[in-house]
Structure 1
Amino acid sequence: MYVINKSRHSAYLLHAHIVFVTKYRRNVLGDLHLDAFKTSAAEVCAEFDAELRECDGESDHVHLLIEYNPKVQLTKLVNSLKAVTSRRLRNQFTDLRAAYDKPVLWSRSYFVGSCGGAPLEVVAQYVRNQRG
């Protein structure tokens, strides 16, 4: 169960599901890489006043579930996550450096979806029935 966060003028509970894919969808990530990714991603989230709730992946992609506040710009968080994790993982693991000719790890594209709370149909029905 999640706690609704409160600030001076708002109450919020925001979660995002984010997916990064390796460049050219190469199978370069192992358990050690994923563990290091999780550590780095948690640090980046903390800098944005966000929390990495879950993180896992496979050899060619990673999934993150992040809880964040309304002040966070998701595009800036995503860009920082991609840049910092790519740099740190490539510096820590020589096999990742050898996998690409250029200093890259992630594809330029990514997925982000909002999640949490009630299903959309329940919210839509609640909004439709406001006049009683």
Structure 2
Amino acid sequence: MKLIVFCLLAVCAVAAADRTLQRRKLQEVLRQLKDVKENLQHNKTMLNTPPENVEDCCCQSALECFRANMQVHFNITEKKQSKLYRSLKKPLTLSSLDFCNSGNNMPTCDKCDEHPKVNVQEFFKRLESLIQRGITRLTMD
């Protein structure tokens, strides 16, 4: 009986530590995003961008869209942009935005090129909103 209780406590501790790591990673991404946003605020590029109100099951797909746009349209060899891009590629970042609780149902998320094009400022605003949403969700759990 004591062994079962100990195992349950260990599982709970690991789960809480995982959420803490995920939250810290998203906070790091947010800081990097603010640095990149300042450098690119006058860029006139139009980018396919997921909406602010992305469904829970489409948050990871939205992140992949943001990441793909960064790779194609920005100079990811520049230090700050490269750092942000690498952070967005991390499995920990992707898993931090997994809010899909639908069981076996496959989400029907729009493809990246189906999203409307918006300017760079709106692109980064929506990416920031997605990351903030992840931090909020991880804090509530």
TM over 0.5: no
**Quick one: higher RCO (CA 8 Å, sep 6+), 1 or 2?**
2
Structure number with the higher strand fraction is: 1
Q: TM-score, normalised by structure 1?
A: 0.31
Q: TM-score, normalised by structure 2?
A: 0.30
